Amino acid sequence: MEYVYFFITAFLFLFLLRKLAKKINLVDRPNGRKQHQGVIPLVGGIAIYLTLMLALWVQPTLLISSDIYVLCASVLVLTGAIDDKYDVDYRIRLIVQILISCIMVFGAGLSLKSLGGLLFGHELVLGPMGYIVTVFAVLGAINAFNMVDGIDGLLGGLTLATFGGLAYLNYLDGQLLLARFCLLMMIVVIPYIVLNLGAPFGVKRKVFMGDAGSMLIGFTVIWVLLQGTQGPKAQMNPVTALWLIAIPLMDMVAIMVRRIRKGHSPFKPDREHLHHICLRAGLSSHQALCLICALAVFCAVIGIALEQFEVPELISLLLFAGVFVLYFRGLNSIWRMLSWLRKRGVLATPHDPR
């Protein structure tokens, strides 16, 4: 019954914050890179944050060191909200992300101590290097989910896929509190998805997640992954985490490699993400949404199956690496083909509703 309350609470926060956002100009406006229609409130993430804070105030034991999580999440959401309104330099965002990574590592004691049995069944212990690897893991997760938020429903759908897999695995591993938190995360994201897709309340009540929300989701994902794979009751294989966030992770790495090859900053926004390629191939935004979310669920199911059938972690890692190589090379080939067709007028430049 408590989940029903939080579900309703998330809806209420969304409707209340929509009105406030328009008054304080916390909105997203169309520009050369964003082609959505109208002025859209950037409050999805703030509503999720407030609902999570309420839930953790009622049930602080859902996460270990929940007070540290609340502190880190609050700093991230505040930074994201300021960025949504004033467009903060990416270097400032990185500094804040590194700061909250350090708070998580040294305040909550969550870090990548081990990468699992990657040494032919023997555990690969990181030692002091684990702190540095953890910071990069946090930065990667935050920015992966931040970058993937490009078409309506996509970030919400990928969030459901990731936390659905995490809820299932943590339940099987006996980490019931962590599984309940993952279920809670799914519950509070659903109201956002409903409004973000413009149904059934119409496009006039549409909202976007904003950087505040995408960074919060990425941080929450890495927190739960670290607690599930490195915590005192951890049983999940660390390599399984890669499968659960496969689409956001592969999209981020692929796009950064392409940007660096072009001599651009890896953080420079563009329109070459997976969802953009789907749109350029002639898919509608809803078709692209369904395809990408289906791929995310498929990858998560593979990761869960590999874990449940006790496939050696090294094999799981090699399989994931193979999938990434296919993904990277496949997208590059598709991108070149679409560019060739577009230059010859075979394909029209797509309209992105975002």
- Binding site per annotation, positions: 146, 211
233-254 core/surface letters (b: 16 or more CB in 10 A; e: else): ebebbbbbbbbbbbbbbbbbbb
Closest CA to 287 of 334, 331, 350: 350
Q: Which residue has the tokens 């209420």?
A: 12
Q: Which residue has the tokens 């040294």?
A: 106
Q: What is the secondary structure of 204-233 as a DSSP string?
A: GG----HHHHHHHHHHHHHHHHHHHHHSTT
Closest CA to 56 of 180, 215, 228, 222: 180
DSSP conformational letter for 125: B
Sign of the Cα torsion 63, 65, 66, 70 reads negative
- How far apart are the C-alpha atoms of 25 and 34, rounded to whole Å? 17
Beta-carbon count within 10 A of 335 CB: 16
- How far apart are the C-alpha atoms of 159 and 297, rounded to whole Å? 10
Residues 6+ apart with CB under 8 A from 259: 265, 266, 268, 270
Q: Binding site for Mg(2+): which residues?
A: 146, 211
- Which residues pair with residue 41 across a beta bridge? 27
At residue 87, the 3 state secondary structure works out as coil
Phi and psi for 41 in degrees, rounded to 5? -65, 140
